[in-house]
Chains A and B, each alone.
Chain A
Amino acid sequence: MRPRAMELLKGLEPGDAVGLIAIAERLLLPAGSVLFKLGGEADCVYAIENGRISLSLPMQVGGREQEVLVEERTAGETVGWSALVPPHRFTLTAMTLIDSEVLAFPRAALLKHFGADPAVGLLVTRNVASVMGQRLQVLQAMWLREIQRVVQMTLASQSAAL
């Protein structure tokens, strides 16, 4: 995947993108690998180069706690932006669904890089803000659709009870 096709690096000059990638560690993860866990210290932001990653939360299913898919992210997308947002704790668990390749950007190195090149810092921060905004809007829409169903089911059961 071309660096500029990654949502985290969008808008960067090729040289700036290469410079930023230089501070990242490339991770090759077989299917089923846990990238990060709910509640864990968020030290890195991850850009998915190849593969597919599930973001899940624990839920009671059939009397047992199960990890349930909340979101799914693919090549070019970013996961783990909790590393850039206090209190720097992951609020989901990320696991590879297939063999995947990700770039791990350590927070400390990123902030140092941004300090040295504020223009790059601004662009990357805007990209992260854009990712967060889109995820929020998607989740708002998903939430409203579920609420709509709950309302319809409640009204239907109340009508049936009358």
Chain B
Amino acid sequence: MELFLMTLVLALLGVVVSGVLFAAAAGVNDPGATVTVRAPARAAAPARFFVDRAAAPPVPIDVVLLQIEQHVRLEQAAAEAFLHAPTRQSLHSRTMSPLVH
């Protein structure tokens, strides 16, 4: 009988200790605790690259082609100037090309 009562008391004690530990881990033993809701990572992230690009009006192809033509003409002139006076400076002279700036 004594052995039975001792086992019962130890079992009850174990249940109580487990309950206290569980409550502490779950935070329910602190009635003053505030629940913090984390903001979703997506909301905190900066605006996305592709979304921004999609929102921007597309540059007409004709304009792009004109810019390429202007770029080629300027580069050809710069390269020909380099051939007339081949120096490091003339090879890497600045350009006014809209494709570079």
Contacts and interface: CB of A to CB of B under 8 A. Distances in A.
Given A139-B79, A141-B79, A68 B68 contact: yes
A54 B12 CA distance: 96
A87 B92 CA distance: 35
Given A61-B64, A62-B58, A145-B92, A69 B72 contact: yes
Interface residues of B, number: 19
Interface residues of A, number: 21
A27 interface: no
A138 interface: yes
B83 A70 contact: no
A134 interface: yes
A142 interface: yes
Contact of B75 (A66, A134, A145): A145
Interface of A: 61-62, 64, 66, 68-72, 134, 137-142, 144-146, 148-149
